[in-house]
Amino acid sequence: MKSLNQKVTKMKKYYDRTDDLNPNYMFSTTATQLLCEAEKDDFDIKFLVRKELANRGVDKDGKWIGFQAAKMEHGVE
């Protein structure tokens, strides 16, 4: 498991991005209840990310591949 120092250092590469592209702010408008449930592993947050990418029809790099292909690539169908 990475140390806290390593995690903080890794996040610094995003500091120069605008807020909408900075992962340090991605949960700022998320309800506290959802954050607590995610922290307790009540749901699989990575699965939800894969599902959203598939719904957008893109691969892991954001390249358009179509909805069906994206569902298969992300393993959500």
Total domain count, the chain:
2
Mean pLDDT across the stretch 2-29? 93
Residue (of 27, 31, 29) closest to 49 by Cα position: 27
State pLDDT tens for residues 19-31. Answer: 999 999 999 999 9
User: What are the beta bridge partners of residue 64?
Assistant: 58
The range of the structural domain enclosing residue 60 comes to 41-77
| 18/48 same-domain check | no
Is 36 a domain residue?
no
- What is this structure's pTM? 0.84
| 47/73 same-domain check | yes
| 26/1 same-domain check | yes
Question: Do 50 and 56 form a contact (C-beta atoms < 8 A)?
Answer: no
State pLDDT tens for residues 24-76. Answer: 999 999 999 999 999 999 999 999 999 999 999 999 999 999 999 999 999 99
